[in-house]
A = this chain, B = another copy of it.
């Protein structure tokens, strides 16, 4: 089978010919139809991301090994199953949960494998979906798609799941004012999900008027262009001068979080999601006196993914797909995403 692999950092991905894995035990072999292209794939390609003081946090220091087939947003058909697999037969259309854990750590024990101590995520620590076939360690990590098509479903397993995890971590109530920072793919999905599952009041924040208009169609009650107006003043005005009850920051850069911290109501939660990086000068006394919470949010659980697919099958949420690529165009897809030229989600169809 063919796979697009990162062999050397920052160099074009190589199309390599690999042998097709044979599933045993609970394993399932998937014939990949759609593989989403994610910002974190760029970090894998570049070999790291920015930490405090501009310093690079290396992927290899976090356990990533090259050559690596990236791709953790994978939908396709069951091709073959191990002898212990139940409930899944050849040609079943499925979505793959990629955030697999080692199974026995405290997070795994309560079904939060995405937060495992020793993660084995597909397309990160194990071979991923930029390939014709993908070996999944157990049928437990598959969700049946029914009528949903694979292209729009693939991003549910990372892009939408990360947005959903953030919405859940904010524990929103119907009268809460929540600011969503960044009206890109994740932010828009977070707005759809907050609208569909919490009843809260949504304030979209971005520097692009076009994206903010799309935000309005995706559930935002209010929009703020933080380039054109003072975002802190704008949030205060929308909230009777109290500030936001929650901020979901899908950028998570020094500048956005610094602003976030100034638009908060007492008791507010700041949910940090993006991987842009950098550092924040955190005022320590303010944390207890204002009773703030800063919550790091990382993807979501298998159970969250089942809920997402349930919402998508009823058209409650709608992922937005914009660009489609062939396997041999994988480098091109990553480059376009890196250059900010992808609106919605890019998909590779091997």
Contacts and interface: CB of A to CB of B under 8 A. Distances in A.
Nearest to A137: B84
Contact of A297 (B288, B296, B302): B288
B291 A115 contact: yes
B201 A174 contact: no
B290 A296 contact: yes
Given A106-B175, A110-B110, A294 B287 contact: yes
B109 A306 contact: yes
A238 interface: no
A102 to B, nearest CB: 7
Interface string A63-92: 000000000000000000000101100000
A242 B294 CA distance: 22
A107 interface: yes
19 contacts: A51-B283, A51-B285, A106-B245, A106-B303, A108-B140, A110-B301, A112-B267, A117-B265, A117-B266, A252-B287, A252-B288, A273-B288, A276-B284, A278-B284, A278-B285, A279-B283, A282-B282, A292-B296, A294-B294
Contacts of A266: 107, 115-117
Contacts of A306: 106, 109, 175
A295 interface: yes
Interface string A208-219: 000000000000
B272 A174 contact: no
A173 interface: yes
B282 A277 contact: no
Interface stretch (A2-10, A12-20, A309-317): A309-317
Given A284-B254, A285-B57, A310-B175, A294 B291 contact: no
Interface of A: 24-26, 49-52, 57, 84, 86-87, 102-104, 106-112, 115-117, 138-140, 173-175, 196-199, 201, 221, 242, 245, 252-254, 257, 265-267, 272-298, 301-303, 306-308, 310-311, 314, 316
B277 A280 contact: no
A34 to B, nearest CB: 22
Given A293-B294, A298-B288, A199 B253 contact: no
A266 B102 CA distance: 14
A316 B252 contact: no
A281 B143 CA distance: 39
A310 B51 contact: no
A281 B278 CA distance: 10
Given A109-B302, A296-B293, A284 B252 contact: yes
B280 A291 contact: no
A328 B281 CA distance: 42
Given A109-B306, A110-B111, A288-B297, 16 more contacts: A24-B25, A104-B140, A109-B302, A115-B291, A197-B199, A252-B284, A257-B284, A274-B288, A275-B285, A275-B288, A275-B289, A276-B285, A279-B281, A279-B283, A280-B284, A282-B282
